Structure 1
Amino acid sequence: MSKIMGTAVSRKDGLAKVTGQATYAAEHQLPGLVYGYVVTATIANGQIQAIDTEAAEQSPGVIAVFTHNNVPKIFKPSNDFRKSKIYEARLPLSDAQVHYAGQIIGLVVANTFEQARDAAQRVKVDYTAQAPTIAAKDAVFKPAPSMFGEDMTFQTGKFTSGDFSAAMAGAAATMTATYHTSTELHAPMEPHATIAHWQGTDTLTIYEPTQWVMGTQRTYAELFGLPSEKVRVVSPFLGGGFGSKAFPWPHGILAAAAARQLQRPVKLVLSRRQMTANTGHRSETEQTVRLAAMADGTLTAISHTAKSCTSPVESFPEPCTGITPVMYTTPNLYTSQELAVMNVGTPTFMRAPGENPGMWALESAMDELAWQLKLDPVALRLKNQTEKHQRKSLPFSAKHFSDCLQVGAERFGWQNRSMTPRSLTQEGKLVGWGMAAATFPAMRGVASVKVRLLPDGTAHILTSGNDMGTGAYTMVAVTAAETLGIPVEQVRVEMGDSQLPDGGLAGGSQMTASLAPAVIQACREVLKSVNCTTATAVCAALQQSGRAAIEATATTAPGAEMKQWAFQSWGAHFCEVTVDEEIGRLRVTRWVAVMDVGQVINAKTAASQVRGGVIMGIGQALMEECHFDPNTGYPVVYDLATYHFPAHADIPRIEVIFVGEPDLNFNPAGARGVGEIGITGVSAAVANAVYHATGNRFRHLPLTPDKLMAS
C-alpha cells in the first residue's frame, strides 16, 4: 500500500486557484443574467412609515423593486438545523419593522450592477425611530437558551457539580477575574454572493458559497415549497467562510425569490459595508472565572460565567463555557451563560465559536493563578488535566495533551524562562514569554462518497462535501490514494454540488473526520467488488472485462463509540513578545504550536490550518474590534481598510508540531479536525506573555497601544 497519509502533499486545487481557473459563486456566467442590489435601513430600531420606490423604478435599466409591500412568496422553513437552517429566523421583508442598522429593507433588480446600485440610492424611506440598544452595558441579560454543544446538539450553558461555594471558602488560594472580548467581524476574501436561476417555477439552481451544500439545498427547498431534488446548489470553491457561509442569509433568499418572480437569473453580491452589518460577526463577551486551589496548585473549584449579545431577529449565544468541563479536573464546577438582545446584526459561528473566547478567559485565569502560587504555568496545567469529560462523564479517547505541553516547552526553551516580570529586555524593549492550552471538540457527521476506478488506473471521487480553503480536495485525494494504493496524482476529486452524494458540513472541524471514513469505505468496496486487494488488480480486471469503470458508494456515520468515549483535540501555544512601552507597540516575535489531532492526513495543509488559526488569534489579541456608532447603530468599521487585521509584518515564523496517535476509536482514518483548534488559546498566550514582559495584567481584548500606554 502506498504510504501517502501524513506526508506533505501540495493542494489539488492550488493551480486552479492561483491561475484563476477556479470559478467562485459570483463568477458564473448565465444567459439573461440581471443584477440585484439591496436597500438597507439607516436606523437601528423602529418602523418604516413609508417607502417611496417611484424614482428607483423609473431609473434606467431597472426591472423591479421589492419591499415589504410586494415581497414575493417565501415560506418559513422548519429552521431546526438538521432539516433546514437560516441565519435570521425572521424572513426578509416580512414586515415594516427595523431591528438593526443595515437590515435589508428592499431589493432593486436591474440590467447591470451599476444601474441597480444607482437606483437603490433613489429609494426614499420615512421611519418612526425608537432609541436602539447598541451598548452591552445598556442591555438586559437573561439566562441563555440552549446552544450548540460539542456533540452538535443544543444544550444549556449551565452546569453544576459539587459545592462551589464551600470549596472557595476552604481554598488555600483563590483567583477571580473578569475578561472581555470585543465584537469581531467576518472578513472572508470572497464576499457573500448568490446567483439564483429558475428553470420554470419549480426547479431552482443556486450558485452560492456555502459550507453545507445539502443543508442549503434542503433549506432553499423549504423556503420555496419545493422537493429537495428540485433544487441544485453549486459551490465547488469558497474564498473563506469561518462559519459565516453555512446557511442562507436574507440576501440569498431575496435573490431566489426575485429570480422566480422575474423568471430571470439574478446575481446579488454584497458590498463589504453591507457584509459588516448583515452577514454575521462574533459577539462581544464578558466572562468571569473564579478558581480555587490548594497550595500545591491542585484545583478544588472552577466557576466560569459568560455573557454575550444577540440580535432581535435570531437567538445566538456565544457558547463560551462549553470548554470548561473538558480542560481541568475539579470536584466542584459551575458554569452559566447569559444573553442580551441588542439592535445589531445577527452574531453567528466564527472559527471556534465559544471555544475561542472561552479559552481566552480560562487560560488567562490559569496563568494568573500560576503566578499567584509561584508555579510554572505548564506544571499547573499538567497537574490538573482531566482524563474524562466532566459533563458527559466519559473518558477521553487518544488524549495527548501532556505531550503537547511538554514537547512545546522543550522546543520553545521554556525551561530558560525567567520567573520575574519585566526581567527580560532586548534593544530597549521589554520581552515576555507566555503560553496557553488549546482545545476543540472532535465532531463527525454523516457523509457519503462515490468512488469510480477507471481502466487507466485513475480514480474519480465524487461528493457534495466541499472545500472552503481548508484543503479538503487534497485530503480526499490522499485518503483515496492511500486506500487504493495508487499515486495521489491519479486521483481526481469533484466536490461542492448537490447532485453528488451528501458529503456533510464543512464546519465544526468535521469535514475531514466525516469524509475520510466514507472515502475509505467506498474505496474498499471497489476493491471488494472484484475480489481484489489493489487498484492495479482492479484495473487489470476492468481491461479484460471491457467495462468503463467500477464504482461504489459508501455512507458512514458516528455510532456507538460516541456513548463510550469523549473525543477532543488538544494543543499548546508558546509565544514571545516585545513591548515598547513608550509608544505602546506590541510585537509577537516567536511562536511554537503543538497539536494533537489524531492522524494527520496531509501535513502541509494541516500545518497551514494551524498557522491560519494562530494568525487569526493574533489579530483578535492585538487589533480586531468592531464598535457600533451609538447614533446610527452602524459598525464604525466598514471595509478591509478600516477593520484592522494582521498583515505579514505582524506575524513571526510559526512553528507547528503534531504529536499523538491516530484516534481509531473515533473513525477508521483515526483523524480528528484541525481547522479550528489553532485559534483557541492564542489570545491568552499573547496576553500572558505581555504580563511576563510588563508586569501588567490585561483582561480586555484587543491589546491596542492606548491600553499598553495607559498602564
Structure 2
Amino acid sequence: MNKVIGTGVSRKDGRAKVTGTATYAAEHQIPDLVHGYLVTATIANGQIQSIDTRAAEKAPGVIAVFTHKNVPKMFMPTNDFMTTKIYEARLPLSDDKVHYAGQIVGLVVADTFERARDAAHLVKVEYTTQQPLVDFKKATFKEAPPQMGEELKFEKGNVAAGVASATPKIEATYTTSTELHAPMEPHAIIAHWQDDKSLTVYEPSQWVLASQRTYAELFGLPTERVRVVTPFLGGAFGCKAFPWPHSVLCAAAARKLQRPLKVVLSRRQMTMNTGHRSETEQTIRLGATADGSLTLIDHEVKSSTSPVDVFTEPCTSITPVMYATPNLRLKQELAKMNIGTPTFMRAPGENPGLWALESAMDELAWALKIDPVELRLKNEAKEHQRKGLPFSAKHFADCLRVGAEQFGWQDRPKQPRSLTRDGKLVGWGMAAATFPGLRGAASVKVRLLPDGTAHVLTAGNDMGTGAYTVVAATAAEALGLPVEEVRVELGDSLLPDGGIAGGSMMTASLVPAVMSACQQVLKNAKAKTAQEAFATLSQSGRAAYEATASSAPGAEAKKWAFQSWGAHFCEVSIDEEIGRLQVTRWVSVMDIGRVINTKTAASQVRGGVIMGIGQALMEECHLDPNIGYPVVYDLATYHFPAHADIPRIQVTFVGEPDLNFNPGGVRGVGEIGITGVSAAIANAVYHATGKRIRDLPITPDKLL
C-alpha cells in the first residue's frame, strides 16, 4: 500500500519559492508593459472641488492620467457573492465624492514605475471637506442586515428568565482594535488586453473563476474571453478573494490605452484600500447555576463598515456551536464610518467572537471556582443550537483533555499571582478553538503521461496554505505513485473550476475531487494503479490517460452540522515594572477530521497562533481624528510578531476522518488556529496578575 496521506510531506512548491522561480502577479514579464500609480484622497469625507493634472501630464514618460472626469468605461457587476463580486459596491472614479481617506481619486500611467509614482505626486486636488466620522465610540449603530443570506439576530428560550435564575452572572464588554491585512505579497495586478476583445489578468486571486466572471461582467465580455492567472499568492487571509477598486481601474485603463498595464500598491495604499478587520465591541452575559451549568448566553456585537459597501464582522456566528444553554440571544449592530471597506480576515467573526466568549467563560470559571477546562467539558454543545443539527465527528472533549495533559494543566496554581519565575509573574491560560467545516464544488483533471508521471490540474489555488502539496499527496496515494512523480498545476481559469481558497475549504473541496478523478483515470486505463496504466499507455495509441471529475456538497448538510474543534494552552511571563509580556509556552490540540499532511497542517496551526499572538499583544490601527488617515502606514509602524515574540508551538491532532462531511473525511485547517488565541493569552494574564484585560491589544501600558 502506498501510504502518503497522514504523513509529513515537504512542500511541492517549497523549492520554487526559496529559489525565486515562483512567479507572483507583479513578476510576469509582458512585452510593452506600462506602469500605473494611484492618486489617493488626503481627506476622509467631502467632495473634489478641482483636480489639476496638467503638471503630471507633462512629466517625463507619462502616458495618461485618469480621474473622475475621464474615467474609462466599465459596468457594475451583479455583485452577488456566489456569481460575481467586487469588494466595494461603487466603481472607482465613478463620481467626485470622497468617502474615506486613501480612496482612489486618480491613476497616473507612465513608461516606468518610478515616473508614474513621481507624476502622481504632481496631481493637485482641492476638496470641499466635511468632518469625518472615524471614532467608533461616536458612531450610530443600527441592526445589522443579513449577511450572505443569513439573519444575524437569533433568540431561543427566555433570556430575561435566564438572567433572573442565574447565580452567578457575568456581564462584561470586550473590544478589539482595527487589524490590517499585511500579506507578504502586496496587492498587484497586470491587465493585458488583446484587440479589445479578450483580457488576461495576472492578479493574486483566492477565487480564480469568480474573478473571471466578475471581470467579464465589468467589461461586457463573454466569460471565455477573460483569463485569470494566479499560480502563486504571497498570503491573502481573505483580502484577495475579489477585485478591489485598483484592479478594476487598472483593467479599464489598460483597455483604454491598449497597453498591458501593471499597478502595484504601496503598503500605505493597502491600509484603507484593500480591507481590514473592523474593530468590535462585544457585550457578553453569561448565567449559570452553582454547579456550573449554563442557563444563559447573551451576545451583543457592534462593528463598523464603510459608506461604499456593507460588511459586518459576524462575531455571533460562533456562539450557538460552543456551549449548550436553554436561553440564547444573538444581536449584531453595524455603523457606517468614513473608513475603507472592511472584509474577511482569517476566521472572520469566529476569531473576535471567541475572544469575547472564551474570556467570559474564564471569568465565569473563576467566579464559580471551577476549573476552566471542566466548565467547558460540562457545557459542551451536542448540537448546533441555531440549526438544530447534531455535530458530526466531534472531538472537542479530546482536544481539551489531551491539551491539558500535554501542558500539565493539573499542576496549575488555583490563585492569581501565585506563580513566579526569575522575579516575573507567570500565568497559565487556556481557551477553545473552533471553525465551521465548509466545502464547495470543485473540479479536477488528472492525466497519466508516458514519462511515468501524473499531472493534476485545477483552477483552485494555493495562497500559501499547502494546496500544491495536499493535492499531490492525495493523488499519489490514490494512484500508487511517489509524491515526486505527481505534478500539480493550479490557479489558472483555463483549468477546471477548483473553487475558492477561503473559508478553510480548499482542501475539503479539492481532496474528494482529486480522489474521484484519480479513480476515474484508472478506470479509463483499465488499471488498478498508475504503474499498470503506464505499462499499457504506449500500446494504447494515446498521448495520455486522462479524466475530469467533480465533487460538491450534497444532502449531508441537512443531517449534520460540521465543525472543527481545538484547544489552546499557554504560559505567559510578565515583568510588571516595565509592562513586558512574553508568551513562553504554547500547546494546541486540533480536531480537523483526517489530516492529509501533518507537516503543512501543523504549520497552518502555528501560523494561526502567531497571527493570534499579534492580535492579542500588538496589532492595532489608529486613525487621525481630523483627516481620518491611518497613522500606521507600513510594516514598521504596524506592529506584528517577530521571531523573538514567539515560543515553540506544540501542535497535536486528534479525532477521526469525518466521512459524513466528504469522501476524504477531511475538514480545513487554515483558520481554526487563530481562534481562541487572544483569549487564552488574556486568561493567562489574569492568572499571572489578577488583572482582567478586556481590550485588545494587551499593550505594556495595560500591564503596568
**Which of the five TM-score ranges fits, normalised by the shorter chain?**
over 0.9
- Equivalent of 1:462 in 457, 473, 476: 457
Amino acid in the other structure paired with 2:15: L
Deviations 1:108-145, CA, capped at 9 Å, x for gaps: 00011111111111111111000100101111000001
Deviations 1:475-515 (A, max 9, x none): 00000011111111110000010000000000000000000
Aligned equivalent of 1:565: 560
Which string of whole-angstrom CA distances, capped at 9 and with x for unpartnered residues, describes residues 432-482 of structure 1? 000000000010001000000123331000000000000000000000011
| Alignment gaps of 5+ in structure 1 | 148-152
Deviation per CA, 1:540-579: give whole Å up to 9, x if none. Answer: 1213223221000011100010111000000000000001
Determine the structure 2 residue equivalent to 1:669. 664
**SS of the residue aligned with 1:334?**
strand
Query: 5 Å matches for 1:204-603?
Result: 204-603=199-598
Cα distance in 2 between the residues matched to 1:528 and 1:561:
27
Q: What is the Cα deviation at residue 189 of structure 1?
A: 0.5
Structure 2 counterpart SS, 1:155: coil
1:300, 1:651 → 2: CA distance? 38
In the TM superposition, residue 160 of structure 1 has moved relative to its aligned partner by 0.3
Asked if residue 617 in structure 1 is aligned to residue 612 in structure 2, the reply is: yes
CA offsets 1:384-413 (integer angstroms, 9 cap, x no match): 001100000001000000000000000000
Matched, 1:144 2:138: no
Matched, 1:680 2:669: no
d(CA) in 2 for partners of 1:544 and 1:390? 59
User: What is the rounded CA distance, in whole Å, between the counterparts of 2:7 and 2:52 in structure 1?
Assistant: 62
Partner of 1:154, secondary structure, is coil
**1:151-172 superposed Cα distances (whole Å, 9 cap, x missing partner):** xx43121000000110110112
Determine the C-alpha separation between the residues in 2 that align with 1:574 and 1:185: 26
Paired letter, 2:129: A
Which residue identity lines up with residue 490 of structure 1 in the other structure? E
Number of matched residues?
704
- 1:531 is displaced (CA, Å) by 2.7
One-letter code aligned to 1:368: E
Q: Which amino acid aligns with 1:96?
A: D
Q: Shift in Å at residue 177 of structure 1?
A: 0.4
Q: In structure 1, how many angstroms separate the alpha carbons of the residues matched to 2:568 and 2:9?
A: 25
With normalisation by structure 1, the TM-score equals 0.99
In 2: Cα distance, 1:661 partner to 1:557 partner = 21
Measured in 1, the distance between the counterparts of 2:239 and 2:287 equals: 38
Find the residue that maps to 1:261 and give its secondary structure: helix
SS of the residue aligned with 2:472? Answer: helix
Asked if 1:190 corresponds to 2:185, the answer is yes
Q: Distance in 2 between matches of 1:82 and 1:296?
A: 46
Secondary structure of the 2:354 match is helix
Which residue of structure 1 lines up, in the alignment, with residue 45 of structure 2? 45
1:708 is matched with 703
Query: In structure 1, what is the Cα distance between the partners aligned to 2:409 and 2:283?
Result: 29
Aligned equivalents of 2:540 and 2:480: distance in 1?
21
Give, as a single letter, the amino acid of the residue that structure 1 aligns with 2:284.
Answer: V
1:150 maps to none
Partner of 1:98: 98
- SS of the counterpart of 2:678? helix
- Residue type at the aligned position of 1:43: I
TM superposition shift of 1:535 = 1.3
**What is the DSSP-based 3-state SS (H/G/I as helix, E as strand, rest coil) of the residue aligned with 1:686?**
helix
Distance in 2, Cα, partners of 1:654 & 1:640 = 24
State the SS of the aligned residue for 1:306.
Answer: strand
Q: Distance in 1 between matches of 2:576 and 2:36?
A: 50
Q: Aligned to 2:430, what secondary structure does the other structure show?
A: strand
Please give the secondary structure, in 1, of the residue aligned with 2:134.
coil
Q: Any idea what SS the aligned residue of 1:450 has? A: strand
Aligned amino acid, residue 45 of structure 1: N
Q: Which amino acid aligns with 2:115?
A: Q
Deviation at 1:260, TM superposition (A): 0.4
Structure-1 residue corresponding to 2:20 = 20
In the alignment, the residues of structure 1 paired with residue 525 and residue 61 of structure 2 have an alpha-carbon distance, to the nearest angstrom, of 61
* Among candidates 655, 666, 673, match of residue 660 of structure 1: 655
Distance 2:588 2:629 in 1: 37
CA separation in 2, counterparts of 1:70 and 1:486? Answer: 57
| Amino acid in the other structure paired with 2:521 | V
Q: Percent identity?
A: 76
Which residue, 145, 155, 158 being the options, matches 1:163?
158
Counterpart amino acid of residue 554 in structure 2: G
Aligned residue type for 2:286:
L
Q: What is the rounded CA distance, in whole Å, between the counterparts of 1:446 and 1:635 in structure 2?
A: 39
Q: What is the alpha-carbon distance in structure 2 between the residues aligned to residue 331 and residue 539 of structure 1?
A: 61
Q: 2:61 is matched by which residue type in structure 1?
A: G
Distance across 2 between alignment mates of 1:228 and 1:679: 37
What secondary structure is seen at the aligned counterpart in 2 of 1:455?
Answer: coil
Moved over 4 A (4+): none
**Residue type of the alignment partner of 2:628:** G
Number of the residue aligned with 2:194 = 199
Structure 2 residue identity aligned to 1:317: T
- Residue 5 of structure 1 pairs with residue 27 of structure 2: no
Matched letter for residue 556 of structure 1: S
Who is 1:131 aligned against?
131
> How far off its partner does 1:210 sit?
0.7
Instruction: Report the secondary structure of 2:703's partner residue.
Output: helix
The range that moved more, 452-461 or 258-267, is 452-461
The aligned amino acid for 2:192 is H
TM-score (norm 2): 1.00
SS at match of 1:457: coil
Displacement, 1:77?
0.3
CA distance in 2, matches of 1:164, 1:95: 47
Give the AA of the match of 1:10.
Answer: S
> Which residue identity is paired with 2:293?
T
Cα separation, 2, equivalents of 1:480 and 1:146: 40
Determine the C-alpha separation between the residues in 2 that align with 1:523 and 1:137: 56
Partner of 1:178, secondary structure, is strand
CA distance in structure 2 between the partners assigned to 1:154 and 1:323 by the alignment? 17
What's the secondary structure of 2:474's corresponding residue?
helix
CA distance in 2, matches of 1:77, 1:211: 18
Q: State the alpha-carbon separation in 1 of the partners of residues 416 and 149 from structure 2.
A: 43
In structure 2, runs of 5+ residues without a counterpart are none
Q: For residue 352 of structure 1, report the CA deviation from its aligned partner.
A: 0.2
SS of aligned partner of 1:593? strand
Which residue of 1 is the match for residue 121 of structure 2? 121
Secondary structure in 2 aligned to 1:361?
A: helix
Taking the aligned partners of 1:142 and 1:172, their CA distance within structure 2 comes to: 32
Q: Tell me whether 1:607 sits opposite 2:594 in the alignment.
A: no
What is the CA-CA distance between 1:700 and the residue it aligns to?
A: 0.0
